[in-house]
Structure 1
Amino acid sequence: MSDSLLAPGAVLALWTIIMLGWVAVTRFSAMAKVGVDIKAAPPGGRGADLENMLPPETNWKSHNYTHLCEQPTIFYAVLLFLHLSGGDTDLTRGLAWAYVVLRIIHSLWQATVNRIPVRFTIFALATLCLFALSILAVIATLG
């Protein structure tokens, strides 16, 4: 893996865009199967309006993309705090990569199998990594 603390953030950003592509492909395909015509949709429609029209397996990918736009925003900020304050260490890089790997596993699980106990465990482990990174960022920024 890279020696840069910023690399895990770049990988997670790329993964988020990959998930967006997966959402688009599966959502447009599912919409065609159920007869949704986006050209005929009323103004102001949102993806959430499709929840009851599309199969759950299609919506899972969208839910995960939303999740990747939530908690990881804290991750990106913490990486910057650590990078700018000299907190780029083997420990922080290891925790950052663990967070990214766990979030990718979480994405794949939620988008395909989506059994909540396993999904929650993966999420909890990733959150523990982020919590540790956040504590280390506070220590690094306080000097």
Structure 2
Amino acid sequence: MHSEILKPMVALIAWTLLMLLWTMATRLPAMKAAGVDLGRLVGSKPADADQALPREVQWKAHNYNHLMEQPTLFYAVCLIIALTGTGNGINAWIAWAYVALRIAHSIWQAMINKVSVRFALFLGSSLALVALTLHAAMAVFQTHSG
């Protein structure tokens, strides 16, 4: 039997790929409109795109980058929880909460991007990650008597 915590992991991976598609679907036309020729582009930096493209387009790319950052810890802690046999019940629910908050964060950042709301969503997901980390530590470091 598999661990339920694997489901939110797969969901967040799928969401990340959707954000990649959304980024490409908005960024490539914006690059063309800005006269950026991908065939001639050499050694650019993210700041170059921030200067050349509309901020609303870049918000999607920024969020995609964010999905490559903290969620890597989420994937690692979920794997630890799954491997210790504690990935069902409350841990699966916390993982789903993390995913829901990250998706809400993505949509908010990609469309509206008011930082105070974005920060609240990030803080909520971070607290869920802390809870999962504590549960993983308890499962890994627990001592067995007898």
Q: Which residue of 2 aligns with 1:26?
A: 26
Rate the CA distance shift 1:46–1:65 in 2: closer, same or farther, 3 A. same
Q: Is the 8 A contact 2:3 2:85 kept in 1?
A: no
Structure 1 equivalent of residue 126 of structure 2: 127
Tell me the equivalent position of 2:5.
5
**Partners of 2:106 and 2:141 in 1: CA distance:** 34
What does 1:1-143 correspond to in 2, within 5 Å? 4-41=4-41, 43-143=42-142
Amino acid aligned to 1:64 = N
Q: Distance in 1 between matches of 2:50 and 2:116?
A: 22
TM-score by length of 2: 0.92
Counterpart-to-counterpart distance in 1, 2:67 and 2:117: 17
Per-residue deviation, 1:4 = 1.4
Q: How far apart, in 2, do the equivalents of 1:108 and 1:132 lie?
A: 24
In the alignment, is the contact (CA less than 8 A) between 2:4 and 2:88 conserved in 1?
no
* Deviation string, structure 1 residues 8-63 (Cα, Å, up to 9, x no partner): 0011011111101111111101111111111122x222444211000000110010
Structure 2 Cα separation of the partners of residues 28 and 112 of structure 1? 17
Q: Is the CA contact 2:3–2:82 (under 8 Å) kept in the aligned structure 1?
A: no
C-alpha separation between the residues in 2 aligned to 1:78 and 1:110? 25
TM-score normalised by the chain length of structure 1: 0.94
Higher mean displacement: 27-36 or 75-84: 27-36
Q: Give the secondary structure class of the aligned counterpart of 2:39.
A: helix
CA-to-partner distance for each residue in 1:80-139, whole Å, 9 max, x for gaps? 000001212311011000000000000000000000000000110010000000000000
Structure 1: stretches of 5+ with no match in the other structure:
none
Distance 1:48 1:72 in 2: 23
Paired with 1:44 and 1:118, the residues of 2 have a C-alpha distance of: 34
**Amino acid in structure 2 at the alignment position of 1:11:** A
Q: Which amino acid aligns with 1:52?
A: Q
